[in-house]
Every structure is written in C-alpha cells, then in structure tokens.
Amino acid sequence: MSIKLIVFDMAGTTVKDENSVTQTFKDALGEFGYQIPESVINPLMGYKKIVAITKMLHEYEADKSKITSVLISQIHDSFVEKMISFYEHASSLEALPHAESTMKTLKAAGIKIGINTGFSRNIAEVIISRLQWREKSVFDYLICSDEVAEGRPNAGMINRLRQMAGLGENDEVAKVGDTEVDVREGQNARCKYVVAVTTGAFTREELEPYEPTHIIDDLSELLSIIL
C-alpha cells in the first residue's frame, strides 16, 4: 500500500522559525514573573501551548495554589496575542526551503497534505494567510491543537485529519515534524513513516533517541522516502 496522507507540522518544519515561538513563549511567561531559560522551553514547543504553560508552572512555581486555570489562561492569552502580532507584522515570515515545492509535488502525486500544529487556530490562520498557502493550494487540511480534546503526543489531531481525508483504518499515513513530541505523536497514530527534520528545535542527535523512521535535513529528501 502507498501513503495516502502526509501530516506536516508548521513552525520549524514547514515554516521558518528563528526562535520566535520560544522567545514569545518566554516573554509571555516573563510578563507574569516567570523567568524561564529558552533551553527549558524549546523541548516543549511542539506541545499544545496550554499544556506547555502548565508544565512550566508546575516546574517553576513553588506555591502550587497559584497554579490556577485563570493564571494559565492569562499567560496563554498573552502568548496568543504576542504571537499573532509577531506573525502579522514579521517581515521575515517565510516557508522553509523546499517546503512548498515538496508539498505540491506530493499533492500532484495524489497524496493528501495535512497540516497540524501546537498553535491555536487563530495563530495558524495568520501564518497560512501571510504565506498565501490556500491561494497556492499547498495543503488540503488544517487542524490545530485547540480543536481536539488532547494535543500532541496524543494521536487526536492526526486521527481527525484521517477522518477529514476520508481514510480508513488501514490507509497508510506519514508524519513529518521537528520535535520529540511530533515523533511520539506519529508513533501513537501508528504512522507508517515518522520523519523528523533537523530544521527546527531539535538536532539530529537530540532526535535519534526517539527513533523516528527517518531523520532528514531538508524537506526535499522526503520525496525519495515517499515516492
């Protein structure tokens, strides 16, 4: 059987990210008095952002009674506001090399292209709009972390994309992402290929222990794997 659907992550995988997501996340936490190093934040960037905030608070807030749903929502709202503003005005927002051409080539071969992300829908839509990916017909389906009960590494987003593509349980799917949680998501969704890319938050050496089926340095390498 051949691959029917490929699910791509956004920031760090198909969208160039010069540490802007990590820095914005750091700024949002700092606004509420939490000074957290980027090295600690980076590994969590593939997660649903509400989950990442909760994890950070449990690690850095000694008084657990302060960790309330209100505080988590306030930090998340700040992150979303800052992230939308960044993507609306960033002059450097662009797709990673060969991302658009690779997705278009795969689409031309009859493979459905899904995009999923740890971002909420309002952030993702700004990126899609700025890059004109709908106008360019780069992808078929988009699902965001706030549209499922559980984000990565839960398989919910990939399973939703399978449904959107009208695929059956035995239809083969591939997942492409740049973080540990992307890899585990693909594994939990029983993807035939779980392809990790070194263009984002993790190096090849950091990705290897999670045992993706492939590790690539450029999205164009995906074509030889899939086709």
Whether residue 105 sits in one domain with residue 206: yes
Closest among 10, 199, 6, 8 to 120, alpha carbons compared: 10
Q: CA geometry: angle at 149 spanning 201 and 188, to 5°?
A: 55
How much is the pLDDT for 1? 59
Indicate which CATH number applies to the domain containing 64. Answer: 1.10.150
Strand-pairing partners, residue 177, are 196
SS3 7: strand
Q: At what angle do helices 20-31 and 49-60 cross, to 10 degrees?
A: 50
Report phi then psi at 144, rounded to 5. -120, 160
Whether residue 217 sits in one domain with residue 126: yes
Whether residue 120 sits in one domain with residue 103: yes
pLDDT in tens, 41-65: 988 888 999 999 999 999 999 999 9
How much is the pLDDT for 19? 81
**Structural domain range at position 109:** 3-16+93-226
pLDDT in tens, 113-154: 999 999 999 999 999 999 999 999 999 999 999 999 999 999
Whether residue 102 sits in one domain with residue 41: no
Whether residue 80 sits in one domain with residue 171: no
Whether residue 212 sits in one domain with residue 109: yes
Residue 31 pLDDT > 70, yes or no? yes
Indicate which CATH number applies to the domain containing 198. Answer: 3.40.50.1000
Domain count, the chain: 2
Whether residue 149 sits in one domain with residue 65: no
Contact assessment for residue 222 and residue 195, using Cβ atoms and an 8 Å cutoff: yes
Contact assessment for residue 112 and residue 142, using Cβ atoms and an 8 Å cutoff: no
Whether residue 119 sits in one domain with residue 222: yes
Whether residue 25 sits in one domain with residue 52: yes
Q: Are strands 112-117 and 141-144 parallel, antiparallel or unpaired?
A: parallel
Whether residue 7 sits in one domain with residue 97: yes
What is the value of pTM for the model shown?
0.92
pLDDT in tens, 170-214: 899 999 999 999 999 999 999 999 999 999 989 999 999 999 999
Which among 89, 114, 148 is the end of a domain? 89
Which among 60, 89, 118 is the end of a domain? 89
Contact assessment for residue 140 and residue 115, using Cβ atoms and an 8 Å cutoff: no
Whether residue 214 sits in one domain with residue 129: yes
57, HSE (Cβ side, Cα atoms, 13 Å): 23
pLDDT in tens, 66-111: 999 999 999 999 999 999 999 999 888 999 999 999 999 999 999 9
- Which pair of tokens denotes residue 149? 């009960």
| Residues belonging to the chain | 227
